[in-house]
Amino acid sequence: MTLRLLITGTDTDIGKTVFAAALTDALSGYYWKPVQSGLEDATDSETARQLGQIAPDRILPEAYRLTTPASPHLSAKLDGVTILADDLSPPETDAPLVIEGAGGLMVPLTDQTIFADVFARWRIPVVLCARTGLGTINHTLLSLEALRARSIPVLGVAFIGDEQADTQAIIAVLGQVRVLGRLPRLEPLTPDALRQAFRANFDIDRFREAAV
């Protein structure tokens, strides 16, 4: 069975692309971002390739590339594109596949569909990325409830940011969820620093368990 993991977050801009890049590198896998909104700056696929030092042929093309950096449903409208959410399906690969969602679970993909609806259909184990700063307890517990309400399997939570031991511990207890590790802030953020930090703070075997 080929390992597939879905990376989502409690919010946007919390570092899940950085985390996904490191995980793809550690697994020697493929990276796929189904929907990319905003093409002016480096796309998430380009960022993941650079930070994870991933071979270009292991960065799979997005199903939708939308111009405006906005929620996909709005970006698609502005581009005159119709997103066919029911047709989105993870590609088959011969090595682990890391899939990165956009924003959080409740981000609209279309006027009728949010990302969580697609994830519920896929039933791929989720790694929930959460920042360690103020407000993360509420955001993380709500995200876990949303996942479980849709019977989406949760592999665990990956924290991103400075150490907040009490916050991380209370999320584990109240959320009844496994903490996979914490990726610290990296300055400067380089491929070598990211690789070292990921290997020092995460046990890759915990992620491989999702294939069992």
* Residue 14 annotated in ligand binding: yes
User: Is 191 annotated as a binding-site member?
Assistant: no
Known catalytic membership, residue 77: no
Q: Is 70 helix (H, G, I), strand (E, B) or coil?
A: coil
Sheet strands side by side (includes 30-32) = 59-60, 30-32, 97-104, 4-9, 126-131, 154-160, 179-183
Q: What is the DSSP letter of 67?
A: S
Strands of 105-189 (E only): list them.
126-131, 154-160, 179-183
72 is in an annotated binding site: no
Q: Are strands 59-60 and 97-104 parallel, antiparallel or unpaired?
A: unpaired
Q: What is the DSSP code (8-state) at residue 55?
A: -
Is 101 annotated in some ligand binding site?
A: yes
Cα–Cα distance, 129 to 124 (Å, whole number): 15
Q: Do the annotations mark residue 81 as ligand-binding?
A: no
Q: Check whether 160 is labelled as a binding-site residue.
A: no
Q: Which of 19, 23, 25, 33 is catalytic?
A: 33
3-class SS of residue 90: coil
Q: Is 18 annotated as a binding residue?
A: yes
Q: Is 103 annotated as a binding residue?
A: yes
Cα separation, 114 vs 110, whole angstroms: 7
Residue at token pair 């989720």: 126
Q: Is 45 annotated as a binding residue?
A: no
Annotated binding site: 13-18, 37, 44, 100-103, 184-186
Annotated binding site for substrate: 37
Active-site positions? 33
Annotated binding site for ATP: 13-18, 44, 100-103, 184-186
Annotated binding site for Mg(2+): 17, 44, 100
